[in-house]
Amino acid sequence: MSPEVRFDFEREARIGFTEAVFCKGKTSDQIALVLSQAQDTGKRLLLTRLDRDALDALDPVWRDAIDYEAASQTGIYGTWSPPSGPARVAIVTAGTSDLPVAREAARTQAFYGAPSREIADVGVAGLWRVLAHQEELRGFPVVIVVAGMDGALVSVLGGLVGGVLIAVPVSTGYGAARGGRTALDSALTSCAPGVVAVNIDNGYGGACAALRTLRAIDGAAQGAHGAVTEDEPSGVS
Amino acid sequence: MSPEVRFDFEREARIGFTEAVFCKGKTSDQIALVLSQAQDTGKRLLLTRLDRDALDALDPVWRDAIDYEAASQTGIYGTWSPPSGPARVAIVTAGTSDLPVAREAARTQAFYGAPSREIADVGVAGLWRVLAHQEELRGFPVVIVVAGMDGALVSVLGGLVGGVLIAVPVSTGYGAARGGRTALDSALTSCAPGVVAVNIDNGYGGACAALRTLRAIDGAAQGAHGAVTEDEPSGVS
Amino acid sequence: MSPEVRFDFEREARIGFTEAVFCKGKTSDQIALVLSQAQDTGKRLLLTRLDRDALDALDPVWRDAIDYEAASQTGIYGTWSPPSGPARVAIVTAGTSDLPVAREAARTQAFYGAPSREIADVGVAGLWRVLAHQEELRGFPVVIVVAGMDGALVSVLGGLVGGVLIAVPVSTGYGAARGGRTALDSALTSCAPGVVAVNIDNGYGGACAALRTLRAIDGAAQGAHGAVTEDEPSGVS
Amino acid sequence: MSPEVRFDFEREARIGFTEAVFCKGKTSDQIALVLSQAQDTGKRLLLTRLDRDALDALDPVWRDAIDYEAASQTGIYGTWSPPSGPARVAIVTAGTSDLPVAREAARTQAFYGAPSREIADVGVAGLWRVLAHQEELRGFPVVIVVAGMDGALVSVLGGLVGGVLIAVPVSTGYGAARGGRTALDSALTSCAPGVVAVNIDNGYGGACAALRTLRAIDGAAQGAHGAVTEDEPSGVS
Amino acid sequence: MSPEVRFDFEREARIGFTEAVFCKGKTSDQIALVLSQAQDTGKRLLLTRLDRDALDALDPVWRDAIDYEAASQTGIYGTWSPPSGPARVAIVTAGTSDLPVAREAARTQAFYGAPSREIADVGVAGLWRVLAHQEELRGFPVVIVVAGMDGALVSVLGGLVGGVLIAVPVSTGYGAARGGRTALDSALTSCAPGVVAVNIDNGYGGACAALRTLRAIDGAAQGAHGAVTEDEPSGVS
Amino acid sequence: MSPEVRFDFEREARIGFTEAVFCKGKTSDQIALVLSQAQDTGKRLLLTRLDRDALDALDPVWRDAIDYEAASQTGIYGTWSPPSGPARVAIVTAGTSDLPVAREAARTQAFYGAPSREIADVGVAGLWRVLAHQEELRGFPVVIVVAGMDGALVSVLGGLVGGVLIAVPVSTGYGAARGGRTALDSALTSCAPGVVAVNIDNGYGGACAALRTLRAIDGAAQGAHGAVTEDEPSGVS
Amino acid sequence: MSPEVRFDFEREARIGFTEAVFCKGKTSDQIALVLSQAQDTGKRLLLTRLDRDALDALDPVWRDAIDYEAASQTGIYGTWSPPSGPARVAIVTAGTSDLPVAREAARTQAFYGAPSREIADVGVAGLWRVLAHQEELRGFPVVIVVAGMDGALVSVLGGLVGGVLIAVPVSTGYGAARGGRTALDSALTSCAPGVVAVNIDNGYGGACAALRTLRAIDGAAQGAHGAVTEDEPSGVS
Amino acid sequence: MSPEVRFDFEREARIGFTEAVFCKGKTSDQIALVLSQAQDTGKRLLLTRLDRDALDALDPVWRDAIDYEAASQTGIYGTWSPPSGPARVAIVTAGTSDLPVAREAARTQAFYGAPSREIADVGVAGLWRVLAHQEELRGFPVVIVVAGMDGALVSVLGGLVGGVLIAVPVSTGYGAARGGRTALDSALTSCAPGVVAVNIDNGYGGACAALRTLRAIDGAAQGAHGAVTEDEPSGVS
Instruction: Verify whether the Cβ–Cβ distance H220 to G220 is below 8 Å.
Output: yes
Average pLDDT over chain G, rounded to whole? 89
Mean pLDDT of F22-26: 92
Average pLDDT over residues G158-174: 95
* Cα-Cα end-to-end distance for chain D: 49
pLDDT for res A210: 98
How far off is chain G from B19, nearest CA to CA, in Å? 30
Mean pLDDT of B141-149: 97
Nearest of E114, E113, E120, E175 to residue E142 by alpha carbon: E114
Phi, psi of F2 (to 5 degrees): -60, 140
Instruction: Give the DSSP letter string of chain G.
Output: --SS----TTHHHHHS-PPPEE-TT--HHHHHHHHHHHHHHT--EEEES--HHHHHHS-HHHHHTEEEETTTTEEEESS-----S--SEEEEESSGGGHHHHHHHHHHHHHTT--EEEE----GGGHHHHHTTHHHHHT-SEEEEEE-TT-HHHHHHHTT--SEEEEEE----SGGGGGGHHHHHHHHT-SSTT-EE--TT-HHHHHHHHHHHHHHHHHHHTT-S----SSS--S--
Residue G5 pLDDT > 70, yes or no?
no
Q: What is the mean pLDDT of chain H?
A: 89
CA D135, CA B197: separation in Å to the nearest integer?
A: 55
| Contact list, A4 vs chain G (CB under 8 Å) | 235
- In chain E, the DSSP E strands lie at 21-22, 45-48, 66-69, 74-77, 89-93, 116-119, 142-147, 164-169, 196-197
* Mean pLDDT, rounded, of chain A: 89
Across the range B103-128, mean pLDDT stands at 95
Interface of B with H (CB under 8 A): 94-95, 123-127, 149-152, 154-156, 158-160, 173, 175-178, 182-193
Nearest by CB to residue C232, choosing from F3, F232, F235, is F3
**pLDDT tens-digit map of C149-179:** 999 999 999 999 999 999 999 998 999 999 9
Is residue H204 helix, strand or coil?
A: helix
Residue G127 and residue F176: Cβ atoms within 8 Å? no
| Percentage of chain A modeled with pLDDT above 70 | 88
Share of chain A above pLDDT 90, in %: 76
The residue count of chain H comes to 237
Q: How many CB atoms are closer than 10 A to CB G115?
A: 19
Interface partners of chain B (CB pairs < 8 Å, 3 or more) are: A, C, D, G, H
Residue range H115-136: average pLDDT? 94
Which residues on chain B are in Cβ contact (under 8 Å) with C128?
10
Residue from A152, C186, C94, C167 nearest B8 by CA: C94
pLDDT at residue C4, rounded to an integer: 62
Q: Is there a contact between D194 and C211 if contact means CB atoms under 8 Å apart?
A: yes
pLDDT at residue D18 in the model: 79
Cα separation, F205 vs D173, whole angstroms: 13
* Residue E146 backbone phi and psi in degrees, to 5: -110, 115
Cβ pairs B/H, distance under 8 A: 114
Across the interface, do A103 and B235 touch by the CB < 8 Å criterion?
yes
Average pLDDT of the residues in C190-204: 97
A-chain CB neighbours of D184 within 8 Å are 175-176
Q: What is the pLDDT of residue A141?
A: 97
Do A44 and A80 form a contact (C-beta atoms < 8 A)? yes
List all chains that touch chain F, counting a touch as 3 or more CB pairs closer than 8 Å. Answer: C, D, E, G, H
pLDDT of the residue at A81: 93
Per-residue pLDDT reduced to its tens digit, H88-110: 999 999 998 999 999 999 999 99
Minimal C-alpha gap between H131 and chain F (Å): 30
Backbone angles phi, psi at H187, to 5 degrees: -60, -40
Assess whether chains A and F touch, using the rule of 3 or more C-beta pairs within 8 angstroms. Answer: no
Amino acid at F209: A
Q: pLDDT at residue A231 above 60?
A: no
Give the per-residue pLDDT at F156.
96
Task: Decide which of C201 and D225 is more confident.
Answer: C201
What is the structure's pLDDT at D228?
A: 36
Residue C93 backbone phi and psi in degrees, to 5: -120, 150
Residue of chain C with shortest Cα separation from B11: C126
Taking CA–CA distances from H163, the nearest residue in chain G reads: G212
Angle CA(A127)–CA(A128)–CA(A133) in degrees, nearest 5? 105
Chain C partners within 8 Å of A189 (Cβ): 149-150, 173, 175-177, 182
Give DSSP secondary structure letters for H156-196.
HHHTT--SEEEEEE----SGGGGGGHHHHHHHHT-SSTT-E
Check: CB of residue E194 under 8 Å from CB of residue F212. yes
Mean pLDDT along residues A24-43: 91
Mean pLDDT taken over chain C: 89
Residue pLDDT, tens place only, C2-21? 456 666 667 777 788 877 89
Nearest CA in chain C to A195: C125
Interface predicted TM-score of the whole assembly (ipTM), two decimals: 0.91
Element (H, E) at D164: strand D164-169
Q: E191, E195, E199, E200: which to substitute to probe chain D, counting the most D Cβ within 10 Å?
A: E191
pLDDT of residue C8: 67
Model confidence at F1: pLDDT above 50: no
Beta-carbon separation of D6 and A122 below 8 A: yes
Which segments of chain H does DSSP mark as H helices, in order? 11-15, 28-41, 52-56, 60-64, 99-111, 127-131, 134-138, 152-158, 181-188, 203-221
Give the A-side interface with H, CB within 8 Å.
3-8, 10-11, 19, 22, 25-26, 30, 169, 171, 179-181, 184, 199-202
**What one-character DSSP code corresponds to residue D57?**
T
CB contact under 8 A, B186 and H187: no
Q: In what order do the strands lie in the sheet with C45-48?
A: C21-22, C45-48, C74-77, C66-69
Measured in angstroms, the CA of B30 and the nearest CA of chain H are apart by: 37
Nearest CA in chain B to A206: B194
* Partner-chain contact D213 C16, CB within 8 Å: no
Cβ of E127 within 8 Å of Cβ of D160? The answer is: yes
Say which of H3, H4, H232 has its CB closest to residue E3: H232
**Which positions ≥6 away from E207 have C-beta within 8 Å?**
E89, E104, E105, E106, E108, E109, E112, E116, E144, F194
CA A63 to chain centre: 23
- Residue ranges of chain D whose pLDDT lies below 70: 1-9, 220-237
Residues A143-149 have a mean pLDDT of 97
Question: What is the pLDDT, as a whole number, of residue F5?
Answer: 65
Q: Crossing angle of helices A203-221/A99-111, nearest 10°?
A: 40
Q: What is the largest CA-CA distance in chain A?
A: 60
Res. C1: pLDDT tops 60? no
Picking from D17, D199, D204 by the largest number of A CB atoms within 10 A of its own CB, the best residue to mutate is: D199
Phi-psi domain of F174 (left: phi exceeds 0; alpha: psi -120 through 50; beta: other): beta
User: Which chain E residue has its CA at the smallest distance from C26's CA?
Assistant: E97
Chains C & F: contacts with CB separation below 8 Å: 6
Contact residues on chain B for D235, CB-CB shorter than 8 A: 3-4
Closest CA to E116 of E98, E142, E96: E142
Say whether pLDDT at F222 is over 70: no
Per-residue pLDDT reduced to its tens digit, C88-108: 999 999 998 999 999 999 999
Q: Are F99 and F120 in contact (CB under 8 A)?
A: yes
- HSE-CB for F99 with a 13 A CA cutoff: 19
Chain C partners (3+ C-beta pairs within 8 A): A, B, D, E, F
pLDDT digit string (tens) for B10-63? Answer: 777 778 887 789 999 899 999 999 999 999 988 899 999 999 999 999 999 999
Contacts of G53 (CB under 8 A, 6+ apart): none
Is E193 within 8 Å of D158 when comparing Cβ atoms? no
The set of residues, in sequence order, having a beta carbon less than 8 Å from that of A46 and lying 6+ positions away, is A18, A20, A21, A74, A75, A76, A77, A107, A108, A111, A204
Mutate to test the interface with H, among F146, F174, F178 (most CBs of H within 10 A): F174
Residue type, A226: G
d(CA A214, CA B213): 9
Count of CB atoms situated within 10 Å of the CB of D36: 12
